[in-house]
Structure 1
Amino acid sequence: MKLGIKAIKDCQAYMFLMGDQPFITKRLIDRLIEEYKNDKSTIIVPYYNGRNGTPTIFSSKFKDDLLQVEGDKGGRDIIRRNVSSVKKVIIDDGKLGLDVDTPIDFKGVIS
């Protein structure tokens, strides 16, 4: 995450996608980008089955905060500290947010 942020010299926002979510679609990504463009919120979070998920968009105003993240927790703490800046985008298809980490997880989603 940090390498990507440092590599980009000038941008409005950062979108973070996980490699273990095989059901993320172009349509979902486009919807989240549109929500970011059309709303004054500076953090866009998809909301699947009552839970925050990814891909998440952070305004570049959070660049320094993102560069301070340690470990494998992503921007969760930034989201918690900036609740008034968060727009949750309800995603009806919970499958889009599924996280597939193991072969057993994969079998479960294709069954």
Structure 2
Amino acid sequence: MNRTTPSARCAALVLAAGQGSRFGSDKRQAQLDDTHTVLQATLARALESFDRVYVVLRPGDDPSTLGIGSRVRTVHAEHALDGMGASLAAGIDAMAASDAHAVAVLLGDMPWIAAATLTTLACQADQQSIVLPCYRGRRGHPVIFGRRFWPALARLDGDHGGRALIEANPHACQVIEVDDPGILHDIDTPGDLQRH
């Protein structure tokens, strides 16, 4: 990727520390296609659009067992069992020393977002904004938080993600319409693997 592009200033943070209890097994390792698991596919898509990709894992997770390559920086969230907010805070803490202007928060069980969508969103990012994708009137993922909002994200805990921060800062939100239903589709059950 050309590192002079706006997307080079935005890093990706993939949250993959949840329990996924509705799936019945570790959905991160569920086979999505002939070559990728769910998590591998999500990370591969992120690597197409971002120079820096971080993934948040559970304590004790072995990145090699999950098929995570060396280009991805791993973060182990000590309090991952507390919920998404705790995982997001751990990821933001790990990124604090980076020079990124913004972070795209992706979910590890959303492998169908188009790389072009990720690049479009990343190019809209700046330090002061929250960028939200929208498909046919429905908001989806990833949400991109400018660096101004990182201290608040780092204080999250429990199962509360960034929604309250979005609601409290409507003036900072940029809603970007995209032609990509993948921003809405996550994997909760084995049947969801057949969606595409």
Query: Which band: TM-score by shorter chain?
Result: 0.7 to 0.9
Instruction: Provide the residue aligned with 1:55 in structure 2.
Output: 142
The one-letter code of the counterpart of 1:89 is I
Instruction: Provide the residue aligned with 2:55 in structure 1.
Output: none
What number of residue pairs does the alignment pair up? 107
Q: How does 1:55-74 map to 2 (within 5 A)?
A: 55-74=142-161
State the 1:41 CA deviation.
Answer: 5.8
Give the unaligned 5+ runs of structure 1.
none
Matched, 1:33 2:119: no
Give the unaligned 5+ runs of structure 2.
1-87
Matched, 1:44 2:121: no
Matched, 1:5 2:100: no
Deviates more, 1:45-54 or 1:16-25: 45-54
Asked if structure 2 preserves the Cα contact closer than 8 Å seen for 1:41 and 1:87, the reply is no
Percent identity over paired residues: 33
- Matched residue SS, 2:117: helix
Instruction: Provide the residue aligned with 1:17 in structure 2.
Output: 106
Looking at CA atoms only, which structure, 1 or 2, has the larger radius of gyration? 2
Asked if structure 1 preserves the Cα contact closer than 8 Å seen for 2:110 and 2:182, the reply is no
After superposing on structure 2, the runs of 4+ consecutive aligned residues of structure 1 that deviate more than 3 Å are: none
The one-letter code of the counterpart of 2:171 is S
State the 1:42 CA deviation.
Answer: 0.5
Whole-angstrom distance in 2 between the partners of 1:25 and 1:71: 30
Whole-angstrom distance in 2 between the partners of 1:12 and 1:35: 11
State the 1:2 CA deviation.
Answer: 1.7
The one-letter code of the counterpart of 1:17 is L
Report Cα offsets for 1:40-82 as digits up to 9, x if no partner: 8610011123222111110111111101222233211100000
Matched, 1:83 2:174: no
Q: TM-score, normalised by structure 2?
A: 0.50
State the 1:96 CA deviation.
Answer: 3.9
Bigger fraction of residues in helix: 1
- Matched residue SS, 1:17: strand
Asked if structure 1 preserves the Cα contact closer than 8 Å seen for 2:134 and 2:176, the reply is yes
